[in-house]
Amino acid sequence: MPRAAGPGPIAAPAAGEDRPFGVYVHVPFCVSRCDYCAFATWTDRFHLAERYVAACVAEIRRAPTGWPPSAGALSGGVAPPPAGWPAGVPRPASSVFFGGGTPSLLPARLLGQLLSAVPISRGAEVTVECNPDTVDTATLRSYADVGVTRLSFGVQSMVPHVLRALGRRHDVEAARAAVRAASAAGFAGRYSVDLIYGAAGESLEDWRATISAVLALDPPPAHVSAYALTVERGTPLAADRSRHPDPDDQADKYLLADELFAGAGLRWYEISNWAAPGAECRHNQLYWRQGEYLGVGCAAHSHARVRHPVAVAGVGGSRRWWNVRTPERYVDQVESGRSVVAAGEVLTPAEQRLEALQLSLRTRAGVPGTALAGWREDPALDGLLATAPGDRAVLTARGRLLASEVALRLHASPAPR
């Protein structure tokens, strides 16, 4: 597993078919939009669903080109990407993730069409994000039948007034029902719960109640993602300062969550993610490990590493590109045989190192001790980093809350030669 981290030399990716490869499929439809949400999702375009899925299938089936990208094609710069950028699926996917939006709005038939287009390796992880009020046992069974192995429920809260404050349509009972349905469909121990803390009016006790209720679900989740409510520009929430979360309150809630999850056997493995050992989301880990993935659908991002991790100045270690933002545009591009890529970038080695540092720092793997040169004596970092086996440094709970500041300080320190 390549785990390039810190300002040290870039780790060469392992060669061969067994290197993880992920496929992300974006489903840009929702029944309603939550007012804190800035994702690429629409409430009025579900009529495009059939054409959209067909377009995604077409994109997946495109002849793989440029995987792995050759150093020669890397001419630097941002959009439009040069011809010869990677496309298609170069090798069987070790993970597939249907995100959104609300992927569970898709009937199993469409989901099945998408999945059958993706070459998948044995034992691959296939996750679908679900809203609790859009699923029932029959739907989830049909998901399992087409190859879905993991569910992720957008529960957000288990306190009614907090759910209302977040503008969520479902109620607490819907979450419990969804979990029962998941269990009946065979997803016991293979589902995750998404939570949000920091909504207007949510007390620390409300948050504790949410966590307790989630841990008391039957069967209990093996994986939880808990996100601090974030004010995104351009959302209705951004316009209403009175509902903006207080960072100190969110810090308290984070520490509480970390403590309660740990007590229930879910250990943190990324800043906002906790899991029972072995239940970590393999697909999401690709993002934090600078792995390779193809994003399918509108607004999806892809990432490819270069064949030769050359340390030649100006030559990138990897490329990233992303598709056009709206579903109608995406469908149009595919149907007319044009590229769906909106823009992309070639990362310089320095950029790649910075990404490696900040991404790896977010995880339980931490960063190599060499990244800490010059900061060992920084009193400001006291208590924010702890050493871990293999001469690595890992954020403490308090440090995780200050990950951006820590990354900045580590990055600003002189790189060891």
Partner 1 sequence: MRRGAVTLPPAPQVAGIVAAASKPAVVLIAAKIGAATAPGLRAPHCSRTGRDRRDRSRPFTRRKNRHHGRDIVDLHRIRNLSVVAHVDHGKSTLSDRILELTGAVDAREMREQFLDSMDIERERGITIKAQNVRVHWRGYTIHLIDTPGHVDFGYEVSRSLAACEGVVLLVDAAQGIEAQTLANAYQALEHDKEIVAVLNKIDLPAADPDRYAGEIERVLGVPADQVLRISAKTGEGVAELLDVICERIPPPSGEADAPLQGLIFDSYYDQYRGVVSAVRIVNGTLVSGTRLRFMQTGRTHEVEEIGIRAPANVAVAELGPGEVGYLIAGIKDVGEARSGETVTTAAHPASEPLEGYQDPKPMVFCGLYPLEGDDFADLRDALEKMRLNDASITYEPETSGALGFGFRCGFLGLLHMEIVRERLEREFDLSLIATAPSVEYRARLTDGSTVEVHNPSEMPEPQALEWIEEPFLTATILTPAEYTGTLMDLCQNRRGDMVRMEYLSPERLELVYRIPLSEVVIDFFDALKSRTKGYASLDYEPAGWARADLVKIDILLNSVPVDAFSAIVHRSAAHDYGRRMTERLRELIPRQLFDVPIQAAIGGRIVARETVKAKRKDVLAKCYGGDITRKRKLLEKQKEGKKRMKNIGRVEVPQEAFIQALRLEE
Min separation Cβ 385 and partner 1, Å: 12
Phi-psi region of 345 (alpha: psi -120 to 50; beta: other; left: phi over 0): beta
25 touches partner 1 (CB under 8 A): no
227 touches partner 1 (CB under 8 A): yes
326 touches partner 1 (CB under 8 A): no
37/172 with CB nearer partner 1: 37
Binding residue for partner 1, selected from 250, 296, 334, 365, defined by CB under 8 A: 250
364 touches partner 1 (CB under 8 A): no
Residue 337 backbone phi and psi in degrees, to 5: 75, 15
Binding residue for partner 1, selected from 217, 300, 324, 334, defined by CB under 8 A: 300
| Residue 187 tokens, joined | 């997803």
Residue with the two structure tokens 């320190």 = 413
Please, are residues 309 and 12 in contact by the beta-carbon 8 Å criterion? yes
Distance CA 52, CA 131 (A): 20
Min separation Cβ 411 and partner 1, Å: 6
Q: What angle separates helix 247-263 from helix 204-215, to the nearest 10 degrees?
A: 30
Distance CA 57, CA 51 (A): 10
Min separation Cβ 131 and partner 1, Å: 18
Binding residue for partner 1, selected from 191, 207, 274, 287, defined by CB under 8 A: 287
Instruction: Give the interface size with partner 1 as a residue count (CB under 8 A).
Output: 47
258 touches partner 1 (CB under 8 A): no
Beta bridge partners, 218, equal: none
42 touches partner 1 (CB under 8 A): no
Which residues from 71-130 bind partner 1, rule CB under 8 A? 99
156 touches partner 1 (CB under 8 A): no
322 touches partner 1 (CB under 8 A): yes
Residue with the two structure tokens 């009937």 = 107
Distance CA 282, CA 295 (A): 16
Q: Which residues contact 37 (CB under 8 A, 6 or more apart)?
A: 232, 235
Number of other residues whose CB lies within 10 A of the CB of residue 223: 24
Distance CA 119, CA 92 (A): 5
Binding residue for partner 1, selected from 50, 136, 332, 345, defined by CB under 8 A: 345
213/354 with CB nearer partner 1: 354
228 touches partner 1 (CB under 8 A): yes
| Residue 281 tokens, joined | 């989301």
153 touches partner 1 (CB under 8 A): no
Per CB under 8 A, the segment of 61-69, 130-138, 180-188, 244-252 that binds partner 1 is 244-252
320 touches partner 1 (CB under 8 A): yes
Distance CA 172, CA 159 (A): 7
Binding residue for partner 1, selected from 92, 403, 413, 415, defined by CB under 8 A: 403
24 touches partner 1 (CB under 8 A): yes
Residue 201, judged by CB atoms within 10 A of its CB (0-12, 13-18, 19+), counts as exposed
285 touches partner 1 (CB under 8 A): no
Distance CA 152, CA 193 (A): 6
183/323 with CB nearer partner 1: 323
The residue type of 131 is N
- Positions of E strands within 75-164: 93-100, 120-130, 150-156
Residue with the two structure tokens 């099945």 = 112
269 touches partner 1 (CB under 8 A): no
Which parts of 167-246 fold into alpha helices (H)? 172-184, 204-215, 236-239
Distance CA 371, CA 369 (A): 5
Binding residue for partner 1, selected from 278, 412, 414, 417, defined by CB under 8 A: 412
Min separation Cβ 79 and partner 1, Å: 12
3-class state of residue 387 by DSSP: strand
274 touches partner 1 (CB under 8 A): no
Min separation Cβ 16 and partner 1, Å: 23
271 touches partner 1 (CB under 8 A): yes
Binding residue for partner 1, selected from 209, 238, 354, 415, defined by CB under 8 A: 354
Min separation Cβ 369 and partner 1, Å: 21
Q: Which residues contact 101 (CB under 8 A, 6 or more apart)?
A: 26, 27, 28, 29, 30, 39, 40, 41, 129
Where do contacts with partner 1 occur on this chain (CB under 8 A)? 24, 99, 227-230, 247-248, 250-251, 254, 270-272, 284, 287-288, 293, 295, 299-303, 320, 322, 345, 351, 354-355, 358-359, 362, 380-381, 384, 398, 400-405, 407-408, 411-412
